[in-house]
């Protein structure tokens, strides 16, 4: 079992790793390391705690991505070709879902063709965010 103190730019929270989970994740528990935690938020006590189910080092997070969402609402059409080139340069098996607003004020979701499925990486995510803005990209894990 382990009790961890997790910190980010907003504050800190305590995380509890019970023996069953600890056996799976203990090798990733290192001081000052960047990790992704999957667990349950416990609000039953005075201070919130996370009950850890899984813990992943940052370099393995890209392998966990199941899909990527890109909000193209209000984006100029001339950017589409550049986005297509970015996606094509990082071929893989992860689908990209494009979200658009139509002139009739409804929202549409499109999935790109398999030839534009990607292999997520830090560089690809940074390139998309630089092209479109950070708030336009989200990942599904």
* Domain carrying residue 96: 65-140
Q: Are residues 58 and 70 in the same domain?
A: no
pLDDT digits (tens, 9 = 90+) for 9-39: 899 999 999 999 999 999 999 998 889 999 9
Predicted pLDDT of residue 103 = 82
Radius of gyration of the chain (CA): 19
- pLDDT surpassing 90 at residue 45: no
Q: Are residues 92 and 36 in the same domain?
A: no
pLDDT digits (tens, 9 = 90+) for 88-125: 999 999 999 999 988 888 889 999 999 999 999 999 99
- pLDDT surpassing 90 at residue 82: yes
Q: Are residues 82 and 116 in the same domain?
A: yes
Q: Which H/E stretch holds residue 68?
A: strand 67-71
Q: Rounded to whole angstroms, how far apart are CA atoms 121 and 137?
A: 13
**How many CB atoms lie under 10 A from the CB of residue 99?**
15
Confidence of residue 65 (pLDDT cuts 50, 70, 90): very high
Q: Are residues 11 and 31 in the same domain?
A: yes
Q: Residue 130: name the closest of 68, 92, 88, 86 by CA.
A: 86
Q: Are residues 126 and 89 in the same domain?
A: yes
Q: Are residues 82 and 56 in the same domain?
A: no
Look up residue 109 and give its two tokens. 């979701």
Q: Are residues 76 and 124 in the same domain?
A: yes
Predicted pLDDT of residue 94 = 97
Q: Are residues 57 and 70 in the same domain?
A: no
**Average pLDDT along the chain:** 93
Q: Are residues 97 and 133 in the same domain?
A: yes
Q: Are residues 46 and 102 in the same domain?
A: no
- For the chain, the domain total comes to 2
Distances (CA, A) of 48 to 10, 21, 53, 116: 14, 19, 16, 41
């Amino acid at each position: 079992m382990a009790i961890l103190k997790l910190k980010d730019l907003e504050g800190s929270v305590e995380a509890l790793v019970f023996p069953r989970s600890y056996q799976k994740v203990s090798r990733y528990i290192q001081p000052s390391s960047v990790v992704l935690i999957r667990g349950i938020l416990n609000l039953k006590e005075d201070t919130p705690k996370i009950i850890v189910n899984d813990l992943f080092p940052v370099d393995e997070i890209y392998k966990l991505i199941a899909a990527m969402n890109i909000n193209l609402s209000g984006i100029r059409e001339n950017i589409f070709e550049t986005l297509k080139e970015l996606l094509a340069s990082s071929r893989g098996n992860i689908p990209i879902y494009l979200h658009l607003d139509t002139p009739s004020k409804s929202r549409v979701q499109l999935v790109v063709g398999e030839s534009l499925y990607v292999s997520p990486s830090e560089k690809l995510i940074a390139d998309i965010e630089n092209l479109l803005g950070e708030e336009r990209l989200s990942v599904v894990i």
